[in-house]
C-alpha cells in the first residue's frame, strides 16, 4: 500500500515552496510514522519562476499559462495530490485548475469557521479578493498594507530575517483585534512566523493547513 504521489508548485516565493515541502515530510513522520525512506510518499516540488504578480502591471493571461504549465508538469510526474505554496497565485487559477488542487484560501475558510478574520497578505491578494471571496476578511489600512508589502519583499530577498520577524511582530501588534483570528495570508509570512512566538491571539497559518491536508489526502486515499 503506497500513499498517493504529491506535487507542490513553488517559486512564489521559492523558499515558501521549500517550507511547504518540509512541513509535508515532517507530518509524514509525526502523523503516519514514516521512518524509512520507503515509507514516505513521493513528493515533487516544482519551483517555477513566475512572472511578476505583486505590482499594478500583472499580466494575468501569462500567469494563467505559467500555472497550467507548472501543474501539468507535476501531473506528468504522477502527482495526484496537488497544492500551491502561495496565496496570491490562487487569484489566477481557472475553474479547472481550482478543481484539481488543494485550494489554500478555501482550506483556510474551514479553519476560520464563519468568523471574520484579520488577513495579512499582499496588496494583489487584497485587490483580487483572494481571501474575502472565501470568508469574511478584514484588512489593515493602506499605510500598514504598504508596510506589509515591503516586509514581504524583504523576506523574498532573504534580507535580515531576524529583523523581518521583529517587523512582523510590530505590524501584528498594531493591527491585532482580540475578537478576530489573524490569518497569515502570504506564505512569505509563514517563513518568519517565529517572530510571533508568545502572541496570545489566534494565528491561522494557511501553509500549515495545506501541509496537513496534503499529507492526509496522500495517506488516506491509498491504493495498492
Tens-digit pLDDT profile for residues 12-30? 999 999 999 999 999 999 9
Q: Quick one: 138 and 199 in the same domain?
A: yes
Is 41 domain-assigned? yes
CATH number of domain containing 23 = 3.40.50.1860
What total number of domains does the chain contain? 2
Instruction: Name the band, by pLDDT with cuts 50, 70 and 90, for residue 224.
Output: very low
Q: Quick one: 83 and 121 in the same domain?
A: no
Is 1 domain-assigned? no
Is 126 domain-assigned? yes
pLDDT at 126: 98
From CA 23, how far away is CA 193, in angstroms rounded?
Answer: 14
Statement: residue 180 has pLDDT above 80: yes
Q: Quick one: 114 and 48 in the same domain?
A: no
pTM of full prediction above 0.85:
yes
Q: Quick one: 56 and 39 in the same domain?
A: yes
Share of the chain above pLDDT 90, in %: 94
Mean pLDDT value of segment 158-178: 96
Statement: residue 109 has pLDDT above 90: yes
Statement: residue 1 has pLDDT above 90: no
Q: Quick one: 59 and 127 in the same domain?
A: no
Q: Quick one: 92 and 118 in the same domain?
A: no
For residue 155, is the peptide bond before it cis, meaning its omega torsion is within 30 degrees of 0? no
Amino acid at each position: 500500500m503506497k500513499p498517493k504521489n504529491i506535487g507542490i508548485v513553488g517559486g512564489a516565493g521559492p523558499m515558501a515552496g521549500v517550507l511547504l515541502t518540509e512541513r509535508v515530510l515532517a507530518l509524514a513522520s509525526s502523523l503516519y510514522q514514516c521512518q524509512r525512506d520507503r515509507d514516505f510518499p513521493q513528493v515533487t516540488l516544482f519551483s517555477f519562476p513566475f512572472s511578476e504578480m505583486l505590482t499594478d502591471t500583472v499580466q494575468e493571461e501569462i500567469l494563467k499559462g505559467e500555472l497550467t504549465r507548472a501543474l501539468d508538469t507535476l501531473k506528468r510526474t504522477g502527482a495526484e495530490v496537488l497544492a500551491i505554496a502561495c496565496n496570491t497565485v490562487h487569484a489566477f487559477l481557472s475553474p479547472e485548475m481550482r478543481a484539481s488542487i488543494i485550494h489554500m484560501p478555501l482550506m483556510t475558510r474551514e479553519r476560520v469557521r464563519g468568523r471574520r478574520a484579520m488577513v495579512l497578505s499582499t496588496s494583489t491578494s487584497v485587490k483580487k479578493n483572494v481571501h474575502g471571496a472565501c470568508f469574511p476578511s478584514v484588512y489593515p489600512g493602506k499605510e500598514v498594507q504598504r508596510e506589509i508589502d515591503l516586509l514581504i519583499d524583504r523576506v523574498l530577498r532573504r534580507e535580515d530575517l531576524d529583523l523581518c520577524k521583529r517587523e512582523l511582530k510590530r505590524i501584528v501588534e498594531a493591527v491585532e483585534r482580540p475578537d478576530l483570528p489573524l490569518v497569515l495570508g502570504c506564505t512569505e509570512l509563514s517563513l518568519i512566523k517565529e517572530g510571533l512566538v508568545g502572541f496570545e491571539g489566534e494565528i491561522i497559518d494557511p501553509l500549515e493547513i495545506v501541509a496537513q491536508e496534503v499529507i492526509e489526502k496522500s495517506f488516506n486515499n491509498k491504493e495498492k
